């Protein structure tokens, strides 16, 4: 199986890439810049936010069996970034996948995403989720809780986000969350990418036990 992993230098994407390789997949990573230790034949340098037309994706999907989208930002550098990166580019990607009949699509969203959610972050994620689930594709939307690992400053993905309303409330450090380790999430993503028609359409990815937010990381 040949899998294209988008956002492959991020916390989730880099671990998903390794998990797919460990499972025997041929992988192609995609990010703004190729890491120095990655071979050019196995990497594509793209500006995801500019890939907002179906035609932008068609050449990159040739020979691809599975697409894993791990692209995400936690705050906007400029107005419209959430919409471009979380909605417009993924929707164009999904349209191209549908046209080329890509076998599997796994889209990493966020727990709490939805069209009527409280924040622009969640709404932009929810718009892409709805588009994918409405297409004639074998696809799974994965919605992780907080993601943690051993990656230095990125040890907790989405930690202290202004986009999470609970963090703007008094005593937010006492909020209880159900975090998932990045290795567990990556293993789940790999299994879903390699799954057949029996894979679920939507899945919440959470850890085993609730913990106080202040204790995560």
Convert the pLDDT of each residue in 16-27 to its tens digit: 999 999 999 999
Determine the pLDDT at residue 214.
55
Average confidence (pLDDT) over 121-149: 93
Q: Per-residue pLDDT for 115 more than 90? A: no
Average confidence (pLDDT) over 117-131: 92
Average confidence (pLDDT) over 155-181: 54
Q: Per-residue pLDDT for 212 more than 70? A: no
Q: Per-residue pLDDT for 161 more than 90? A: no
Contact 115, 123 (CB under 8 A): yes
User: Dmax of the chain from CA atoms?
Assistant: 51
Contact 134, 201 (CB under 8 A): no
Average confidence (pLDDT) over 37-57: 96
Work out the percent of the chain whose per-residue pLDDT is above 90: 67
CA-based nearest residue to 7, from 85, 98, 64: 85
Q: Per-residue pLDDT for 30 more than 90? A: yes
| More confident: 25 or 216 | 25
Domains (range + CATH), the chain: 2-150+179-209 (3.40.50.720)
Q: Per-residue pLDDT for 167 more than 60? A: no
Contact 108, 140 (CB under 8 A): no
- pLDDT interval class at 206 (50, 70, 90): confident
Helices and strands in the chain: count of H runs, count of E runs: 6, 12
Determine the pLDDT at residue 147.
83
Q: Per-residue pLDDT for 172 more than 70? A: no
The C-alpha atoms of residue 20 and residue 2 are separated, in whole angstroms, by 10
Q: Please, which residues have CB within 8 angstroms of residue 39's CB and are 6 or more apart in sequence?
A: none
Question: Picking from 36-45, 88-97, 176-185, 207-216, which range would have the lowest pLDDT averaged per residue?
Answer: 207-216
Token digits of residue 24: 């025997």
CA 188 to chain centre: 12
Q: Per-residue pLDDT for 197 more than 90? A: no
Average confidence (pLDDT) over 142-165: 60
Determine the pLDDT at residue 151.
62
């Amino acid at each position: 199986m040949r899998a294209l992993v988008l956002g492959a230098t991020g916390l989730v994407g880099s671990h998903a890439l390794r998990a797919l390789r460990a499972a025997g997949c041929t992988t192609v990573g995609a990010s703004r810049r190729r890491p120095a230790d990655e071979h050019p034949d196995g990497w594509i340098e793209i500006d995801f936010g500019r890939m907002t037309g179906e035609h932008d994706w068609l050449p990159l999907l040739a020979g691809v069996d599975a697409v894993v989208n791990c692209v995400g930002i936690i705050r906007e550098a400029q107005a419209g970034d959430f919409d471009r990166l979380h909605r417009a580019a993924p929707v164009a990607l999904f349209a191209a996948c549908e046209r080329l009949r890509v076998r599997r699509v796994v889209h990493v969203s966020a727990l709490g995403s939805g069209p009527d959610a409280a924040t622009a972050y969640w709404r932009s994620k929810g718009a892409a989720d709805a588009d994918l689930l409405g297409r004639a594709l074998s696809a799974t939307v994965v919605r992780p809780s907080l993601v943690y690992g051993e990656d230095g400053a990125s040890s907790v993905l989405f930690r202290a986000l202004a986009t999470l309303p609970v963090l703007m409330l008094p005593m937010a450090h006492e909020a209880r969350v159900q975090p998932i380790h990045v290795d567990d999430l990556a293993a789940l993503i790999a299994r879903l990418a390699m799954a057949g028609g029996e894979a679920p359409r939507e899945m919440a990815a959470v850890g085993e036990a609730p913990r106080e937010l202040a204790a995560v990381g």
